[in-house]
C-alpha cells in the first residue's frame, strides 16, 4: 500500500490525560476538540507524517471551576497559547505493530521533542466500504518543561499538582 491521507474520526477518538493530585490521587481529563493530518502507509508506518493540534480551551476535567482555572494564565493561558501541537520527526518500529513516534510538541510557547509509544491497532472496511485504521498512543511529559509551573506546597509535604502529565490517545481514522 502507498502513503495515503487519513482523516481522524473525532466521534470515535479521544485525547485523555492523567495527573497526580496532592500526591495521593489522580485527576483525569480529556480534550474534546482536536484535529490531525495523517499521511501514512499502514504497511510501513515508519514513513508516516503526523501532525496534531489540540484546542486547549476544550479541556474537560468534569469540574467547571477547575477547567476555567486551567484555561487562565496560571496554566495554559489559552488567550495567548490556544493550541498544543505535535509534528512527527522520527518513527521507529519497535515490534509487531508497535512504534516510538518522536516529534516536536509545542505548548505554552515552548517547543520540545517528546516520544510516544504508538500501537497500530489494525485496519479494515466499515459497513459502508470506507477504509478505517486504529491507533493507540501513550506518553508523558513534564509540565515544567513547558513553563507550566503553577503549584502549591502541601502542609504535609509534597505539592498540590504533580509535574508529570500522562497522555493516552485513541484514534480511529478514515482513508481520504
What's the average model confidence in pLDDT over 146-167? 72
Q: pLDDT tens-digit profile of 42-87?
A: 888 999 999 999 999 999 999 898 899 889 888 889 999 999 999 9
Helix ranges (H only) for 71-163 are: none
Residue 168 phi/psi, 5° resolution?
-135, 125
Asked if residue 159 has pLDDT above 70, the reply is no
Residue corresponding to grid cell 505535535 = 86
Amino acid at each position: 500500500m502507498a502513503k495515503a491521507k487519513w482523516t481522524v474520526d473525532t466521534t470515535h477518538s479521544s485525547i485523555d490525560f492523567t495527573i497526580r493530585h496532592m500526591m495521593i490521587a489522580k485527576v483525569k481529563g480529556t480534550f474534546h476538540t482536536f484535529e490531525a493530518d495523517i499521511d501514512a502507509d499502514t504497511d510501513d508506518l515508519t514513513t508516516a507524517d503526523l501532525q496534531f493540534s489540540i484546542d486547549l480551551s476544550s479541556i474537560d476535567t468534569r469540574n467547571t471551576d477547575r477547567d476555567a482555572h486551567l484555561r487562565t494564565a496560571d496554566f495554559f493561558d489559552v488567550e495567548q497559547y490556544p493550541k498544543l501541537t505535535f509534528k512527527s520527526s522520527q518513527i521507529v518500529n519497535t515490534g509487531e505493530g508497535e512504534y516510538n513516534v518522536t516529534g516536536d510538541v509545542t505548548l505554552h510557547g515552548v517547543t520540545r521533542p517528546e516520544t510516544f509509544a504508538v500501537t497500530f491497532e489494525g485496519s479494515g472496511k466499515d459497513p459502508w466500504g470506507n477504509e478505517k485504521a486504529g491507533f493507540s498512543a501513550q506518553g508523558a511529559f513534564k509540565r515544567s518543561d513547558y513553563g507550566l509551573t503553577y503549584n502549591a506546597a502541601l502542609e504535609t509535604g509534597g505539592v498540590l499538582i504533580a509535574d508529570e502529565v500522562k497522555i493516552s490517545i485513541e484514534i480511529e481514522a478514515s482513508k481520504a
